[in-house]
Amino acid sequence: MNSNGVVEWAVVESDIGPLLLAAADAGLVSVVFHARPEVREKAVGQLRARLGAEPVENPGSARLAEPIRQLAAYFAGSLREFSLELDWSLTSGFNRQVLRELATGVPYGAVAGYGDLAERVGQPGAAQAVGVAMGSNPLPVVVPCHRVVESGGGLGGFGGGLETKRKLLALEGVLPQPLF
């Protein structure tokens, strides 16, 4: 439980469908894919339960202005590195450690294997646990779990669905753009 006070959220359109963004005093706290009404409701309920605050829908929120601007620039291809204040309160322990390493250590246009990341945080052999950490990432796109792939060349899993992962990797030039 943290005393974040107010949590504000809004849904924005993107190239990968509607995203729900939520921010608290410390920064952006959550990015949720496929934010259709039923997904929104569930996400807001989870924020309420986990942050102990009543999330308020506020598309004009000053807290959300910069995340919205940077995500739009990212999808337009003009931003390669997010510089946002992030609130890590929805993740902890090993997961937080791995996600922080990912956020700082795997730049735009690059990919890393699950095993690579495990080694980078001093836990060689914890590739599966890294997969779990990616699946629990509260800040996808901004903390780029789409850049984590299988060492054999497979895409690996992805909370937003493989089609979304493909689109993000194509946007970053890692994969060819689909032909249709």
Based on the residue annotation, tell me whether 154 is a catalytic residue of this protein: no
- Which of the following is catalytic: 127, 145, 148, 149? 145
How far CA 87 is from CA of 31, 63, 96, 99, in Å, comes to 11, 12, 11, 12
Give DSSP secondary structure letters for 65-98: HHHHHHHHHHHTT---S----B--TT--HHHHHH
Distance between CA atoms of 141 and 163, rounded to whole angstroms? Answer: 14
Classify 71 in phi/psi space as left (phi over 0), alpha (psi -120 to 50) or beta: alpha
Active site residues: 145
